[in-house]
Amino acid sequence: MPDRRQRLPLRLLSTFGSLFLLGGTGLWLLARAEDLPRFDALIVHYRPELLVLLLIAFLVLSLLAIRRQLIRPLNELVAYVRAQQTGSPESPPSHLYRRRDDIGYLAREIAKLLHALHDKNQQLHAQTLNDPLTGLGNRRLLEQRLEIALPLSRRRMTPLSALMIDVDHFKQYNDHYGHPAGDECLREIANVLRDTFRRETDIVVRLGGEEFLVVLLDNQLDEATRLAEGMRSMLQAVGIPHAWSPTAKVVTVSIGVATAPPGTPIDLESLLACADEALYACKAAGRNCTIGRHVGAGIKESAEMTS
Ligand SMILES: Nc1nc2c(ncn2[C@@H]2O[C@H](COP(=O)(O)OP(=O)(O)OP(=O)(O)O)[C@@H](O)[C@H]2O)c(=O)[nH]1
């Protein structure tokens, strides 16, 4: 029974060894042919041709062995690697993966490498879509999700709301509590956002600095404003002290809400511009409040202000 753990060189050695033995025997017989009176004339006459024929047979058999043992499995490996260009990698064909020789070793190493590359890619992909400070999404994620959400909401005639959320007097917070405390404060706010907007379809991102954005699919202005108010009160209930804020004793936010009514042809920029205008109105109105408006309309409603 052949040793299953033999390596490729051993296999080749045994294949070539057999071929050499075969060829050698043939040559020896030819060499001895002169001693055999029966074949004498025939062998002497055809010896050069027979030698060439034996050599050719030897070469053909060698090439076949190389093709079977090396070239075919290597081609299969190449085909396997090519098939793994997209999606999560699968295992190589089992007859290659299980081989105990160098080809099997190569197949297993390639599979390991492809899996590691896939994991790394996933990691990098997540990093490009997430804000490293808060773990929320970033603008890129927002754009990616809205690429699908905007046309879908138009097609299904559903409303679309954007909540632009800005921390009040955050510069004072940083100045007095320090930048690391400022970072921690942003993380707390991110947690409140996560707790408030829990639907799978809610898109919650940090746009940068102390500005966050939430996009709600299928929420009318009243509902979006109510949710924004819920988030604002929850943050106040958390009560992150802000002794230097002229608005309140705790960290507060101002929220501008913009809603595109069903069927409104809208793009991200116009939705954000409208939410920004509403936010600006909040800041002008004294901060720590929510103001909502329909896209293309004047200020629709203003929610409570708390000091
Ligand atoms: N800790 C921390 N601070 C940040 C970060 N990004 C931006 N900031 C700070 O956020 C502050 C934003 O200041 P402003 O734009 O003046 O806004 P504000 O002080 O909140 O004033 P209003 O929005 O008008 O209430 C600046 O001091 C920035 O340095 C961050 O990642 N971490």
* Tens of pLDDT, residues 123-182: 888 888 999 999 999 999 999 999 988 888 888 899 999 999 999 999 999 999 999 999
Take residue 272 and report the two structure tokens written for it.
Answer: 């954000």
- What is the distance between the alpha carbons of residues 249 and 113, in angstroms, rounded to a whole number? 55
pLDDT digits (tens, 9 = 90+) for 76-116: 999 888 888 777 778 888 888 888 888 899 999 999 999 99
- What is the distance between the alpha carbons of residues 187 and 249, in angstroms, rounded to a whole number? 19
User: Residue 161 to residues 145, 167, 215, 294: CA-CA distances in angstroms?
Assistant: 14, 20, 6, 9
- What is the distance between the alpha carbons of residues 103 and 97, in angstroms, rounded to a whole number? 8
Predicted local distance difference test score (pLDDT) of residue 300: 46
- What is the distance between the alpha carbons of residues 300 and 288, in angstroms, rounded to a whole number? 18
What angle do helix axes 139-156 and 268-284 make, rounded to 10 degrees? Answer: 110
Identify the bridge partners of residue 161 per DSSP, sorted by sequence position. Answer: 216, 259
Contact yes or no for 96/72 (Cβ under 8 A): no
User: Residue 138 to residues 8, 123, 130, 153, 278: CA-CA distances in angstroms?
Assistant: 52, 15, 5, 21, 21
Q: In which band, very low, low, confident or very high, does the pLDDT at 303 lie, cut at 50, 70 and 90?
A: very low
Q: Is 274 in the pocket of ligand 1 (CB under 6 A)?
A: no
- Residue 247, CA atoms < 13 Å, CB-side half-sphere: 24
CA of 25 to the centre of ligand 1 (A): 90
Identify the DSSP state of 68.
Answer: I
Measured from the Cα of 181, ligand 1's closest atom is: 1
What domains does the chain contain, in order, with CATH numbers? 8-122 (no CATH), 139-305 (3.30.70.270)
Q: Is 130 in the pocket of ligand 1 (CB under 6 A)?
A: no
Q: Is 168 in the pocket of ligand 1 (CB under 6 A)?
A: yes
Contacts of 233 (CB under 8 A, 6+ apart): 306
Arithmetic mean of pLDDT over the chain: 86
Contacts of 80 (CB under 8 A, 6+ apart): 92, 93, 96, 107, 110
What angle do helix axes 170-177 and 179-196 make, rounded to 10 degrees? Answer: 130
Predicted local distance difference test score (pLDDT) of residue 190: 98
- What is the distance between the alpha carbons of residues 266 and 258, in angstroms, rounded to a whole number? 11
Q: Which of 131, 169, 170 to mutate to test the pocket of ligand 1 (most atoms within 8 A of CB)?
A: 170
Take residue 264 and report the two structure tokens written for it.
Answer: 């409104």
Contact yes or no for 210/186 (Cβ under 8 A): yes
For residue 210, indicate whether it is catalytic: yes
pLDDT for residue 29 is more than 80: no
- What is the distance between the alpha carbons of residues 106 and 118, in angstroms, rounded to a whole number? 18
Q: Is 182 in the pocket of ligand 1 (CB under 6 A)?
A: yes
User: Residue 126 to residues 92, 119, 129, 198, 199: CA-CA distances in angstroms?
Assistant: 27, 11, 5, 20, 20
Given the residues 210, 229, 277, 304, the one annotated as active site:
210
In this structure, how many other beta carbons lie within 10 angstroms of the beta carbon of residue 82? 8
Amino acid identity at 125: H
User: Residue 282 to residues 8, 57, 183, 223, 227: CA-CA distances in angstroms?
Assistant: 75, 91, 24, 18, 16
pLDDT for residue 235 is more than 80: yes
pLDDT for residue 226 is more than 60: yes
Contact yes or no for 294/278 (Cβ under 8 A): no
